[in-house]
Structure 1
Amino acid sequence: MPAPCVVPFFEPLRVRGTRHRLRRALRRGRHLPAVLLALAAVALAVGGGGPRPEAPATAVAARARPPVVVRPVSVPVRIADAATVRLLRPGDRVDVIAAPNSTLGGAGEARVVATGARVAEVPHPGETRSDGGALVVLSVPRATAAALAGAGVTSQLAVTVC
């Protein structure tokens, strides 16, 4: 039978809380981890994850209104350059630009008629006009559809892909 092991006497371990670790790290010169830990604590304290204070009843009533839903409508638009239209696919977002038509006596600068319009339909290959234009169906809000239809009569329309 082996001889019993003798365990030497040692002082009990004293575990301090986490607040002492930050001080100890600063004393030892390990500033970066200590600073990061302090910044994280400040961010949590400022951001607050706890419950928010109750808002006055008038503010709650104002927020209770349902948002206004703008339903898009489809509008056919004749784009002057058919080669550009061949680059488009349904679902693409485009900006529509109206340039004054010089053959109709139009003068002025080009202007943006619609931003972020969704392409609903594109023509099949070979479905272009003799002047090179192509018809594209866009999905836009009703007010924008009226502006596009009006601009298509007096201007040449072009698109840029968003």
Structure 2
Amino acid sequence: MPQVSSDISSPSPPPPCPVPHFAPVRVRGGRPLLRRLLRHRRRAMAAGLAVTAAALVAAGPRDAERARAQGPPAASTPAADAAAPSRASKPRAAAMVTAPVRIADAETVRLLHRGDRVDVVASDGSTSRVVAAGARVTEVPGAQAGAAESAAEAGALLVLSVPRATAARLAGAGAGMRLAVTLC
């Protein structure tokens, strides 16, 4: 290592100079955002509720399907089995049923095809009302060769897919009123 001589005179430090006064620097960041959220509590609450609702919707169906797959919990006593009938023993009501309907105008029925949507209107001569709205045509049975003239007088058969309650209204209206269809 080279030797440094200590007899070299070093220059003196510069004289002190005054530092000017300035305002403190404020950094924008987390604290103002937190203060703003605290000022706008309703928005923060709404945002929190929206996130919670989205999480519950996303998690809900999977948990429900898992519970259905596991089935009802096993009963511990025979008396509990007799008191609570199982789900398998109850027949489930079908959401849609097929309903045969006799329409007064046979020529109108000839214009219909499977899959068309129709409104069924019941009329007793003085008043009319819609009995089934938006019913889907499932089948249009053809007229028999020998009964063409009598079918024109009696109307034509039409098979519709409707909810169970609507099928009951159709049957009741068909018993005492003339039925007509309009294409939707």
Where on the TM-score scale, by shorter chain, does this alignment land: which range? 0.5 to 0.7
Aligned partners of 1:85 and 1:122: how far apart in 2? 7
Q: Look up the SS of the partner of 1:54 in the other structure.
A: helix
CA deviations 1:109-132 (Å, max 9, x no partner) are: 100000010001102145652514
Aligned partners of 1:60 and 1:130: how far apart in 2? 55
CA deviations 1:40-63 (Å, max 9, x no partner) are: xxxxxxxxxxxx622288x649x7
2:11 equivalent in structure 1: none
1:53 equivalent in structure 2: 51
> Which residues of 2 match residues 28-107 of structure 1 at below 5 A?
53-55=51-53, 60=57, 64=61, 71-100=95-124
Aligned partners of 1:90 and 1:56: how far apart in 2? 41
> Which residues of 2 match residues 1-162 of structure 1 at below 5 A?
53-55=51-53, 60=57, 64=61, 71-100=95-124, 108-126=126-144, 129-162=151-184
Higher share in helix = 2
Does 132-141 or 88-97 show the bigger shift?
Answer: 132-141
Aligned partners of 1:123 and 1:161: how far apart in 2? 18
| Aligned-pair identity (%) | 57
Highest RCO, 1 vs 2 (Cα 8 Å, sep ≥ 6): 1
**Letter aligned with residue 133 of structure 2:** T
The structural deviation recorded for 1:144 is 0.2
Structure of higher CA gyration radius:
2
Q: Look up the SS of the partner of 2:101 in the other structure.
A: strand
Aligned pair count reads 101
Q: Look up the SS of the partner of 1:75 in the other structure.
A: strand
What RMSD over aligned residues (CA atoms) do the two structures have, in Å?
2.8
Aligned partners of 1:154 and 1:140: how far apart in 2? 20
Aligned partners of 2:54 and 2:154: how far apart in 1? 61
Change (3 A) 1:94 1:130: closer
- Contact in 1 for aligned 2:105/2:152 (Cα 8 Å): no
CA deviations 1:27-52 (Å, max 9, x no partner) are: xxxxxxxxxxxxxxxxxxxxxxxxx6
- Contact in 1 for aligned 2:103/2:178 (Cα 8 Å): yes
TM-score of the aligned structures, taking structure 2 as reference length:
0.48
Change (3 A) 1:160 1:55: same
The structural deviation recorded for 1:135 is 0.4
